[in-house]
Chains A and B, each alone.
Chain A
């Protein structure tokens, strides 16, 4: 296998880059140590939720953030790139294997969706199956849980939502028995899989119809099918006759898995490859170009020669960055320098959990072309691009910017590579039409 681009990491940023490149006709190999992080995330596309205050218009807030904080990844990418990438993802999902399942929303407006704790969380694009819970518009909601499900607490959610909206939205809670024949505890995935069985969605809908009141939006935990979310959701709404939505909860995430399956299928459809269980441990190269990626596989090491490497290994949570017991931070695939790490004797964390922490923004510093910068601020490699949570300068879990950074950087990386390749191809004789990818 001689891919033109090796993408390391199969999270949002890696798959976004991979799909964009593959669909443009580039040979892409995505190498992942394991299954990526999408399966753990709620499945919403968060562009920017908080910049001090809660953000209502992510796009303009991103533009301001980019101006204010030159070290933030959004300063490298710009607001337009974020909007483009978000729309791009939307269009891809709409053409993906789960179609007509799609994402709704706009990069210019955050919805306010309930979390599984009953907090209002701003999100820009969300699965259609979640949108009805937008608390900017809903008046009355009933949160319905399944008895015995340990990852969802309807009463707590309902009460907190009421408190959060000052009573403007009326929210009540109730529970129903899980579907019969569930064969084990009603966990998130068992429930979702059971709804994929014929007749189950309709049966559930009938029971829910008995519980919902006339003008309520019905909110369930996010278990509305893995294989056919649109079908199941649509069945529920049709039979119940009320808007239905799902609230994402603790991992494993069903909406997250849908997104992963979608991107993986799009990659494959476009001729790209994904190899799981493939741990990148280094590179081969000379001067400022990487020539091959070294991978640890069963029985030893192998190399994949390639023209480009997109590093999408994520941050600390996915193991792309690790802190050793001497308090030094390492980037674990290519050995790039890590910026923003306090010195070993300095504090890495605040003593209060909810305070900001000095270590949080550590990552790989990059220039506007997403090339990694070394400790002296110079470009180390010409043909390596860094995307996603590996980038320094953001605290995405607090800002609610994770998917925005991942998508925008992954999408941008693909464009940068395509442009560079086209410039190389500019030596092609005149008269040959250049396809616009």
Chain B
């Protein structure tokens, strides 16, 4: 069994946890970040990609709105390469109460969210697909942010500063010595191998799973209500600006252009189990209808994929309001004050936009505990990859390909991933899981949903990693099953046609069903 030492152990490889580790590294703490899966496989990798201007909260939760706009501006400075500067619109559709728009405007002014009222004509000039019957519109500085780019930048930052990032390591136990948490036992979910970590401090940033982790420390009443929401990725950018309905938060009231798709979301249902992510038929129907309000005809256009994410909503035992009312502002639980458990903090709730602030508060709290006074540097320190200060643009891959068409064939044509890039990622990542590659590069995230590239990536993985055929075959089938999860609930129209073509390829032509050891049982 491996033994590791660290000043700080951070549990949870989403934006919050990675943000905590990054902040701590910059302050000089030897940090280890762990996640039971790949980075951003939890909530961070399952949201719609919105970098909030705060507009969505100006009426409902002004404090959250102000936090959002402040963090929005900071992230634009330090993480520009992970952000597409799409801008945002709030529009009053015929279904929306026009009086809300007055409150909205006032709310923006009060909370410091930059806002500009624009004409309907101007909206339709910028975004011809938007509902032409909108009655009022405002522009705000929403943007879209790519969670995987962000997480990879944070991970690089962490390792550049001497920290360690351990993925696929599940925490199976937290160690106590008297009142203090002193570390954890990790189990590699791929190999079963165990690792012991001795940590001077432990920060629980495991989002929707925070209750489970804190229970391991002997803290029993951290209740996180998983707020389930579904999102649907539409095949192309139906809009190039984030479009919100100008209304109290409702289901399906936002359409986010992110990378090559646009995401319509979301719903909000309390769930029991944050790992229970199946999608129900009526949720899908509801989401598509909602999307039609923003962009008429959306229902008939092509939906690529549907998935569920869970918001970590901290339920304060004293409050009695509905789940949408559970604070979406974040919560810092100082377990020494609250529960008498030392060297253990939980940071939960919040949204990706405010991850840096959450991380700062958590690390500040740790510093107070330790009697240290290093200041937080994350407001100014630029993340690796964002040095130029230039925003990401969706044209980047097309431009790169044009600059160098060469003889490097595109393996994933939909998302323009050349073979060399894929091989490099496979070598660096040292994984046999094509879903990890997908998160890193967007493999299989285009219209064909892996129809062509799954086979190619498997063949390349087999070669590059010197795998045996059985492992490669497993990787292929696992990826097909993984893609299928988010595909079958929204199969209609063009995407059904695509899926059937993919069936002809994988079952008809390649006959995966009859791979040795893979006959359907």
Say whether A associates with B: yes
Query: Measuring CB to CB, which residues of chain A are less than 8 angstroms from any residue of chain B?
Result: 40-42, 50, 54, 115-121, 148, 150-153, 155-156, 159-160, 163-164, 184-185, 187, 248-251, 315-317, 319, 322-325, 327, 345, 348-355, 396-398, 400, 402
Of the A-B pairs whose beta carbons lie under 8 Å apart in the complex, a sample of 8, sorted by A's number, is A117-B476, A120-B511, A160-B469, A250-B505, A324-B300, A325-B299, A345-B281, A396-B508
Q: Report whether A156 and B462 are in contact in the complex, using a CB–CB cutoff of 8 Å.
A: yes
Q: Report whether A151 and B456 are in contact in the complex, using a CB–CB cutoff of 8 Å.
A: yes
Q: Report whether B469 and A349 are in contact in the complex, using a CB–CB cutoff of 8 Å.
A: no
**CB-nearest residue of chain A relative to B298?**
A325
Residues of B within 8 Å of A345, CB to CB, are: 281
Residues of A within 8 Å of B484, CB to CB, are: 351-353
Q: Report whether A121 and B492 are in contact in the complex, using a CB–CB cutoff of 8 Å.
A: no
Complex Cα–Cα for A354 and B518 (A): 10
**CB-nearest residue of chain B relative to A145?**
B459
Residues of B within 8 Å of A398, CB to CB, are: 507-508, 513
Complex Cα–Cα for A41 and B496 (A): 18
**CB-nearest residue of chain B relative to A156?**
B462
- Does B514 count as interface, using CB distance less than 8 angstroms? yes
Q: Report whether A397 and B503 are in contact in the complex, using a CB–CB cutoff of 8 Å.
A: yes
- Does B510 count as interface, using CB distance less than 8 angstroms? yes
Partner of A187 from B409, B470, B500, B505 at Cβ < 8 Å: B409
Residues of B within 8 Å of A150, CB to CB, are: 409-411, 419, 456
**CB-nearest residue of chain A relative to B288?**
A325
Complex Cα–Cα for A40 and B278 (A): 33
- Does B400 count as interface, using CB distance less than 8 angstroms? no
Residues of A within 8 Å of B463, CB to CB, are: 153, 155-156
Do A156 and B472 form a contact, CB below 8 Å, given A40-B501, A115-B511, A400-B508?
Answer: yes
- Does B414 count as interface, using CB distance less than 8 angstroms? no
Partner of A317 from B462, B473, B497, B515 at Cβ < 8 Å: B497
Interface residues of B in 445-484 (CB under 8 A from A): 452, 455-456, 458-460, 462-463, 468-470, 472-473, 476-477, 480-481, 483-484
Counting contact residues on chain B (CB < 8 A from A), the size range is 35 or more
Q: Give the 5 A-B CB pairs with smallest separation, nearest first.
A: A153-B459, A159-B469, A397-B508, A353-B484, A349-B488
Partner of A397 from B299, B300, B504 at Cβ < 8 Å: B504
CB distance from A13 to the nearest CB of B (A): 15
CB distance from A355 to the nearest CB of B (A): 7
CB distance from B142 to the nearest CB of A (A): 27
Complex Cα–Cα for A354 and B483 (A): 12
Partner of B458 from A156, A248, A315, A402 at Cβ < 8 Å: A156
CB distance from A430 to the nearest CB of B (A): 52
Partner of B511 from A117, A163, A327 at Cβ < 8 Å: A117
CB distance from A339 to the nearest CB of B (A): 17
- Does B485 count as interface, using CB distance less than 8 angstroms? yes
Do A315 and B520 form a contact, CB below 8 Å, given A117-B512, A353-B481, A398-B507?
Answer: no
Residues of A within 8 Å of B456, CB to CB, are: 150-151
Q: Report whether A160 and B473 are in contact in the complex, using a CB–CB cutoff of 8 Å.
A: yes
**CB-nearest residue of chain A relative to B504?**
A397
Interface residues of B in 262-283 (CB under 8 A from A): 278, 281
Partner of A119 from B419, B460, B504, B511 at Cβ < 8 Å: B511
CB distance from B405 to the nearest CB of A (A): 9
CB distance from B358 to the nearest CB of A (A): 35
Residues of B within 8 Å of A116, CB to CB, are: 455, 509-510
CB distance from B488 to the nearest CB of A (A): 4
CB distance from B438 to the nearest CB of A (A): 16
Complex Cα–Cα for A121 and B456 (A): 20
Residues of B within 8 Å of A402, CB to CB, are: 508
Do A115 and B510 form a contact, CB below 8 Å, given A156-B459, A349-B491?
Answer: yes
- Does B192 count as interface, using CB distance less than 8 angstroms? no
Partner of B515 from A160, A351, A400 at Cβ < 8 Å: A160
- Does B373 count as interface, using CB distance less than 8 angstroms? no
CB distance from A128 to the nearest CB of B (A): 20
Q: Report whether B491 and A323 are in contact in the complex, using a CB–CB cutoff of 8 Å.
A: yes
CB distance from A167 to the nearest CB of B (A): 11
Complex Cα–Cα for A42 and B510 (A): 10
**CB-nearest residue of chain B relative to A118?**
B469
Residues of B within 8 Å of A118, CB to CB, are: 469
Q: Report whether B515 and A40 are in contact in the complex, using a CB–CB cutoff of 8 Å.
A: no
Complex Cα–Cα for A54 and B463 (A): 30
**Given A345-B281, A354-B481, 11 new contacts (CB under 8 A):** A117-B455, A117-B510, A119-B512, A155-B463, A156-B458, A248-B509, A250-B509, A325-B493, A353-B483, A397-B503, A400-B511
CB distance from B100 to the nearest CB of A (A): 29
Complex Cα–Cα for A391 and B435 (A): 36
CB distance from A52 to the nearest CB of B (A): 11
CB distance from B139 to the nearest CB of A (A): 31
**CB-nearest residue of chain A relative to B466?**
A155
Residues of A within 8 Å of B500, CB to CB, are: 315-317, 397
Partner of A148 from B407, B459, B485 at Cβ < 8 Å: B407
Complex Cα–Cα for A325 and B281 (A): 11
Partner of B409 from A42, A185, A348 at Cβ < 8 Å: A185
Do A322 and B497 form a contact, CB below 8 Å, given A153-B459, A185-B409, A351-B488?
Answer: yes
Q: Report whether B469 and A120 are in contact in the complex, using a CB–CB cutoff of 8 Å.
A: no
Complex Cα–Cα for A223 and B281 (A): 44
Residues of A within 8 Å of B288, CB to CB, are: 325
CB distance from A332 to the nearest CB of B (A): 11
Complex Cα–Cα for A402 and B509 (A): 11
Q: Report whether A160 and B516 are in contact in the complex, using a CB–CB cutoff of 8 Å.
A: yes
CB distance from B476 to the nearest CB of A (A): 8
Do A163 and B470 form a contact, CB below 8 Å, given A40-B504, A116-B510, A352-B481?
Answer: yes
Q: Report whether A323 and B493 are in contact in the complex, using a CB–CB cutoff of 8 Å.
A: yes
Complex Cα–Cα for A239 and B476 (A): 38
Q: Report whether A120 and B514 are in contact in the complex, using a CB–CB cutoff of 8 Å.
A: yes
Residues of B within 8 Å of A324, CB to CB, are: 300, 492-493
**CB-nearest residue of chain B relative to A348?**
B491
Q: Report whether A355 and B508 are in contact in the complex, using a CB–CB cutoff of 8 Å.
A: no
**CB-nearest residue of chain B relative to A152?**
B459
Q: Which of B288, B452, B491 has the most CB of A within 10 A?
A: B491
Q: Which of B469, B472, B503, B515 has the most CB of A within 10 A?
A: B469
